[in-house]
Structure 1
Amino acid sequence: MSLLIQKQTKLISKPDLIYKDFFKKVENFMDLMNALLFQGRALIDENSLVLCDANATTHFEFDDEVIGVGKQRDVLMKCTVNGVAILLGLENQSTVDYSMPFRVMDYDTITYQQQFNLQDEDKRQSFHPIPVLTLVLYSGDKLWHQPYSLIERMEIPEALKGWVNNWNGNIYDIKDIRVEWLKNPKVKAVIEGVQRIYQWDRDKESLNDLILSKEEAIVVAIMTNSEELVIRLEKEESEEIKMCEVID
């Protein structure tokens, strides 16, 4: 459920673009990934991160027929971990969605096929793809009760269990992230802000100390699926927001 009653009011800007821009900043992306993957250990270096084209489009060839496919990711970065290159994707999901493992599989498969198609034909036999890992940051207020992997949606004969390939959704619930793993103050403010909102007892006094920058406050509103709050925040002239004053 959204925190606020939805109204037919025009947004000044597209909320998903604001979220994407926040995590396209390498220092924000790096901090979140180090927290989710390595419990805050700095295995991803900001200097190794390179923003990639998130528009995942490619083609597959079947019986002389070319089929084009495409998916729009939220954020995709290339980086190195322990000296090895990897492509890291981040998706925001504000509602529970049973199809998430399927979508992650689509993103990753298309990215692998992109890498293959970009190789010269005479080099494809020796081609080594860059590993692709997509993480989903679930920011909804409900518990994630849908599958975390593709195989959870299947009925598999007992004799074939362990043989069928799986695809993990890599879904992380924002309510479970330990904020002490975060080092970047902006990312920490956003994650802690979302957690505080979901723990809120509806007493505005309890949010007196929740003060965010305007950018951080808008990202929190987006991640809690509060369109009316986004609209209200975009009209704010102050760059420092006391959340108790803007929340109904």
Structure 2
Amino acid sequence: MGKQNDAFTAYLGRAEVLADLYNGCLYQGEEVVQAGNLCEVQQFYQQRLSERVKRPTARRRERDAIRAFWNEKSYVLLAAEAQNQPHLTMPFRCMEYDLAEYARQLRYIRLKSEGKLKTGVEYLSKMGRNDHLTPIVTIVLYHGTEPWDAPKKLSEMMELEEIDPILKQMVQEYQIYVFSLEELQEEYFQTNLRELIGLMKRRSSKTKIQEYCRKHADRISRMDVATYDMICVMLNLKELQDKKEKYLENGKECIDMCKAMEEWAEELREEGEQLGMKNTLKLVAKMSENGDTEYIARLLEPEVFEQMAEKYGMKA
């Protein structure tokens, strides 16, 4: 699962995918966030440790994905975290990232204002009244198979039942936004993130994967290479990954994954038939050894085959 989460992290780092993620999760597919209006920002932070700790003086923390989004109305930082299993401290983890980013912004403001703030509150604060922090929004994309049953608010990590109501209201509500694949509407996404989500939602059934590919052949037949690689990793399709060069088209800009899936399904069918034949021969041998020869000629009858398979412990 670590390899899959690393792959998802790299995939979310693409501007067009991050924009599509926000539009699909928050704006029902409306293109509010445009990839052309996203720019790279610092993705990692150096956290200083106590001088009394006899270890390196700093450690590096890195977000999965973050970009600055700007338009005529606003300037905000959009971040995303990929998570493959529920995490009981996820609100705190996201808060740590946010605090590290705000601390970086404050250091920049103080450096910019050094020597300019002479007296009063601004001097004490090392920040001018017209200076502002850039807000951060974080989406957690959960791609695990178990339901998310972990906290989404900082307060859900606390025991607040016995606290005085007034004090309870004063506890800050720090909330994270967790979107599980199962709750996402595929049609809200415009990039091949749509197909990645659609296939991962059906990963428990090869038949459903095939049905999805046939139904959406127009898009899946011209999939970008990065998404093809992601699908191979997330669905554990190493055989398709090894054959990637075979399906590259249009100057190696996109891949016909529909054709790849069809050939993969045919290979699975042939393997299944071969396995079925081997199992049938084994069953016939056991029946002959134990005197059930009168039923061998009737094995094409489903009821007889099932009865004999169960008798000899070969029922699937």
Select the residue among 147, 151, 156 that pairs with 2:151.
Answer: 147
Partner of 2:271: none
Q: Please report how far the alpha carbon of residue 77 of structure 1 lies from its aligned counterpart in structure 2 after TM superposition.
A: 0.3
In the alignment, structure 2 segments of 5+ residues that lack a partner are 52-56, 118-125, 248-254, 269-316
2: CA distance, partners of 1:133 / 1:81: 16
- What SS does structure 2 have at the residue aligned with 1:97? coil
> 2:202·2:209 contact (CA, 8 Å) conserved in 1?
no
* Structure 1 position 196 matched with structure 2 position 196: no
**Aligned residues: percent identity?**
20
Select the residue among 35, 39, 42 that pairs with 1:53.
Answer: 42
Partner of 1:7: none
Pick closer, same or farther for the CA change 1:93–1:165 going to 2, 3 Å.
Answer: same
Pick closer, same or farther for the CA change 1:69–1:195 going to 2, 3 Å.
Answer: same
Q: Please report how far the alpha carbon of residue 205 of structure 1 lies from its aligned counterpart in structure 2 after TM superposition.
A: 5.4
Partner of 2:66: 76
What does 1:1-248 align with in structure 2 at a 5 Å threshold? 15-16=4-5, 18-59=7-48, 68-80=58-70, 83-119=73-109, 120=111, 122=114, 124-126=126-128, 127-156=131-160, 157-159=163-165, 160-184=167-191, 186-198=192-204, 200=205, 206=211, 209=214, 212=220, 213=223, 215-223=226-234, 229=236, 231-237=238-244, 238=247, 239-241=255-257, 242-243=260-261, 245=264
- What SS does structure 1 have at the residue aligned with 2:170? coil
TM-score, length-scaled by structure 2: 0.62
1: CA distance, partners of 2:74 / 2:62: 26
| Deviating more after overlay: 101-110 vs 117-126 | 117-126
Q: Which amino acid is 1:24 matched to?
A: G
In the alignment, structure 1 segments of 5+ residues that lack a partner are 3-10
Q: Please report how far the alpha carbon of residue 145 of structure 1 lies from its aligned counterpart in structure 2 after TM superposition.
A: 1.0
Partner of 2:292: none
1: CA distance, partners of 2:98 / 2:240: 35
Pick closer, same or farther for the CA change 1:81–1:40 going to 2, 3 Å.
Answer: farther
2: CA distance, partners of 1:129 / 1:45: 22
Partner of 1:8: none
- What SS does structure 2 have at the residue aligned with 1:145? coil
- What SS does structure 2 have at the residue aligned with 1:140? coil
2: CA distance, partners of 1:47 / 1:204: 33
Pick closer, same or farther for the CA change 1:114–1:87 going to 2, 3 Å.
Answer: same
- What SS does structure 2 have at the residue aligned with 1:89? strand
User: How far does the alpha carbon of each residue in 1:27-76 deviate from its partner, in whole angstroms, 9 at most, with x for none?
Assistant: 221111111122222221222100223213344899xxxx7453211111
CA RMSD of aligned residues (A): 3.2
Q: Which amino acid is 2:231 matched to?
A: V
Q: Which has the higher strand share?
A: 1
Partner of 2:277: none
- What SS does structure 1 have at the residue aligned with 2:100? helix
